[in-house]
């Protein structure tokens, strides 16, 4: 027997057996802490803000610090600068309960907290390696203001041997005695769109350090989770740092593999969804991440696969599979427009898109986020503009972010407004609202009836029966009239 529980803006189904544990853990988290720690989270981006709110939710006193005064002012006013379901409620709750604070005062934050989480960005540089300037800037601040024993935790995704580098910098560059600090790697495994659930109900927590006392303290920080069945993996710094990269690279491989299978399905008349089901039922493979589409994007997979290749090269190791995945993913992003051109060629014997108006539905790299980093929609829009088409864009959350990249395309307040008078539609993100579009109505407002469903969220039979010329990824044979 199971039931639905709503908390912090999200709903989860839990078993009757776990209901009391769930309610006690979420509604009264401080009651089961072995100790309340004073924790600083440096950086209030996606990882930092979710981490800070999550640690406060389980009963710790958390100060989130950032150099961006505007962002801190927004957070103090209850405005969340990123779109993540449930995060606003979680922040509001813990601010009201005096467990979550926001500041720009890095000196006070370092001196008045015992555990310092580094959660700043490590964006991809031009050569593919992680840009570490923000991490090392934080280390410099810690060295400047350290006033007693601190545990320094890298929550940011950092290259292997970063922990050792931080330790060496503090000891040799800033002459900080090793007895008053410890370095810990504690990578995040948050999925955008479900990050709150991922933090509060982790499948595993990885803690890496060469300091046994620091590992024990970090175990205590996360005691709530281990008491409720989450596995804590303890190891050394290098192993912990590599786990994060290896996990994301493994998922990227799985996604790209199925995308290539889906492309083959389109050529031979097979159904990629059924292929995914057939192989996913093998427990050695599993059904997760067997979903074809226009390629992966976001803040993790693109930069982490590139960084892993770069790290391996520094140590004389070739990562040929990951290199192939990177190439395959870039190619996959071109598939939706290639399919669109083929549909125009089928109808008009020409794939010329000059002067055509194309509605792109979905700009974020996935649903339930406003993150457009490395989104397939960027490639789709670039290709359409290069081909001479105009673009009508709509996304429930990501339009303001996309305006920074494409200020001159047209943005609309609804999917139907974007579709009106369009010659074709590309569905590029799997938002729930796109799954229930009224295609009988859409047919009355479009200029032409051409649709590429790059996320396979619409039953092709519905489109064909409504006399749309359509295509999907991995189910093209269903789009034949």
Residues 409/380, Cβ–Cβ less than 8 Å: no
In DSSP notation, 324-368 reads HHHHHHHHHTTHHHHHHHHHHHHHHS----TT-EEEEE--SSSTT
Closest by Cα among 191, 108, 122 to 154:
122
pLDDT confidence tier of residue 6, bands split at 50, 70 and 90: very low
CATH code for the domain in which residue 263 is found = 1.10.1040.10
* E strand map for 364-427: 390-394, 410-411, 424-427
Same domain, 196 and 50: yes
**pLDDT confidence of residue 428:** 98
**Residue 370 belongs to domain spanning:** 333-479
Phi first, then psi, for residue 124 (nearest 5°) are: -80, 130
Same domain, 440 and 294: no
How many angstroms separate the CA atoms of 123 and 170, rounded? 23
**pLDDT confidence of residue 34:** 54
Q: Which two tokens stand for residue 31?
A: 């009651």
Same domain, 262 and 351: no
Does any domain span residue 190? yes
State how many domains the chain has: 3
Same domain, 86 and 221: yes
How many angstroms separate the CA atoms of 36 and 333, rounded? 47
**pLDDT confidence of residue 338:** 98
Does any domain span residue 240? no
**Domain end: 313, 330, 347, which one?**
330
How many angstroms separate the CA atoms of 265 and 271, rounded? 6
Checking if the pLDDT of 31 tops 50, the result is no
pLDDT confidence tier of residue 12, bands split at 50, 70 and 90: very low
Question: What is the distance in angstroms between the CA of the first residue and the CA of the last residue of the chain?
Answer: 44
Same domain, 313 and 339: no
Does any domain span residue 111? yes
Same domain, 87 and 214: yes
What percentage of residues in the chain have a pLDDT greater than 90?
87
How many angstroms separate the CA atoms of 308 and 311, rounded? 5
Q: Classify residue 230 by its DSSP letter.
A: P
More confident call, 411 vs 300: 411
How many angstroms separate the CA atoms of 29 and 57, rounded? 7
Cα 52 off chain centre by: 17
Summarize pLDDT for 189-247 with one digit per residue, the tens.
Answer: 999 999 999 999 999 999 999 999 999 999 999 998 988 889 999 999 999 999 999 99
CATH code for the domain in which residue 337 is found = 3.40.50.720
pLDDT confidence tier of residue 13, bands split at 50, 70 and 90: very low
How many angstroms separate the CA atoms of 150 and 116, rounded? 7
Taking the CA atoms of residue 317, residue 373, residue 365 and residue 320 in that order, the dihedral angle to the nearest 10 degrees is -10
What percentage of residues in the chain have a pLDDT greater than 70?
93
Q: If 0-12 CB within 10 Å is exposed, 13-18 middle and 19+ buried, where does residue 100 land?
A: buried
Does any domain span residue 374? yes
**pLDDT confidence of residue 229:** 87
**Domain end: 299, 330, 361, which one?**
330
**pLDDT confidence of residue 3:** 37
How many angstroms separate the CA atoms of 366 and 289, rounded? 13
**Domain end: 330, 350, 375, which one?**
330
pLDDT confidence tier of residue 32, bands split at 50, 70 and 90: very low
Same domain, 33 and 20: yes
The two beta strands, 10-15 and 2-7, are antiparallel
For the segment 270-288, the average pLDDT, to the nearest whole number, is 94
Q: Which two tokens stand for residue 266?
A: 């389109």
Same domain, 322 and 344: no
**pLDDT confidence of residue 128:** 81
How many angstroms separate the CA atoms of 231 and 264, rounded? 39
**pLDDT confidence of residue 22:** 40
Same domain, 389 and 276: no
Q: Catalytic positions, please?
A: 300
pLDDT confidence tier of residue 18, bands split at 50, 70 and 90: very low
More confident call, 186 vs 34: 186
Residues 423/447, Cβ–Cβ less than 8 Å: yes
Query: How many CA atoms lie within 13 Å of 14's alpha carbon, on the beta-carbon side?
Result: 17
Q: If 0-12 CB within 10 Å is exposed, 13-18 middle and 19+ buried, where does residue 349 land?
A: exposed
Does any domain span residue 241? no
pTM for the whole thing? 0.87
Sign of CA pseudo-dihedral 452, 457, 461, 467: negative
Does any domain span residue 150? yes
Does any domain span residue 124? yes
Same domain, 154 and 67: yes
Same domain, 326 and 338: no
**pLDDT confidence of residue 481:** 60
Does any domain span residue 203? yes
CA gyration radius, the chain: 24
Could you tell me the CA-to-CA distances from 73 to 10, 70, 103, 105 in Å, in that order? Answer: 26, 5, 9, 13
Q: Classify residue 124 by its DSSP letter.
A: B
Same domain, 230 and 364: no
How many angstroms separate the CA atoms of 87 and 141, rounded? 28
Summarize pLDDT for 155-178 with one digit per residue, the tens.
Answer: 999 999 999 999 999 999 999 999
């Amino acid at each position: 027997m199971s039931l639905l529980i709503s908390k912090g803006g999200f709903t989860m189904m839990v078993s009757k057996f776990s209901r009391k544990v769930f309610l006690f853990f979420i509604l009264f988290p401080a009651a089961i802490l072995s100790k309340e720690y004073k924790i600083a989270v440096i950086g209030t981006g996606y990882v930092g803000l979710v981490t800070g709110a999550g640690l406060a939710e389980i009963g710790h006193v958390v100060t989130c610090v950032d150099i961006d005064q505007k962002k801190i002012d927004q957070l103090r006013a209850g405005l969340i600068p990123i779109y993540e379901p449930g995060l606003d409620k979680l922040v509001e709750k813990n601010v009201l309960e005096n467990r979550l604070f926001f500041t720009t005062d890095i000196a006070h934050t370092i001196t008045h907290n015992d555990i310092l989480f580094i959660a700043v960005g490590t964006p991809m540089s031009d050569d593919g390696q992680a840009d570490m300037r923000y991490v090392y800037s934080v280390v410099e601040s810690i060295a400047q203001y350290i006033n007693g024993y601190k545990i320094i935790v890298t929550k940011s995704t950092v290259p292997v041997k970063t922990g050792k580098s931080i330790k060496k910098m503090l000891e040799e560059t800033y002459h900080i005695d090793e007895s008053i600090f410890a370095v810990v790697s504690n990578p995040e495994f948050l999925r955008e769109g479900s990050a709150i659930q991922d933090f509060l109900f982790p499948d595993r927590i990885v803690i890496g350090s060469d300091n046994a006392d620091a590992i024990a303290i970090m175990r205590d920080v996360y005691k709530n989770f281990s008491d409720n069945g989450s596995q804590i993996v303890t190891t050394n710094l290098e192993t912990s740092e590599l786990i994060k990269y290896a996990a994301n690279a493994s998922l990227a491989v799985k996604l790209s593999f199925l995308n290539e299978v889906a492309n083959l399905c389109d050529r031979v008349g097979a159904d990629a969804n059924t292929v995914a089901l057939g192989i996913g039922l093998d427990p050695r493979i599993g059904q997760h991440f067997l979903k074809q589409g226009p390629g992966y994007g976001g803040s993790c997979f693109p930069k982490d696969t590139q960084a892993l290749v770069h790290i391996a090269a520094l140590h004389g190791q070739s990562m040929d599979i990951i290199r192939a995945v990177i190439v395959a993913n870039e190619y996959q992003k071109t598939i939706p427009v290639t399919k669109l051109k083929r549909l125009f060629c089928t109808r008009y014997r020409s794939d010329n898109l000059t002067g055509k108006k194309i509605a792109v539905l979905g700009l974020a790299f996935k649903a339930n986020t406003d993150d457009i980093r490395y989104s397939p929609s960027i490639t789709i829009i670039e290709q359409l503009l290069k081909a001479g088409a105009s673009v009508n864009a709509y996304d429930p959350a990501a339009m303001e972010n996309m305006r920074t990249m494409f200020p001159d395309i047209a943005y609309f307040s609804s999917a139907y407004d974007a579709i009106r008078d369009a010659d074709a539609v590309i569905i590029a993100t799997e938002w729930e609202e796109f799954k229930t579009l009224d295609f009988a109505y859409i047919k009355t407002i479009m200029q032409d009836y051409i649709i590429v469903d790059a996320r396979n969220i619409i039953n092709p039979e519905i489109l064909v029966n409504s006399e749309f010329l359509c295509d999907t990824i991995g189910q093209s044979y269903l789009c034949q009239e």
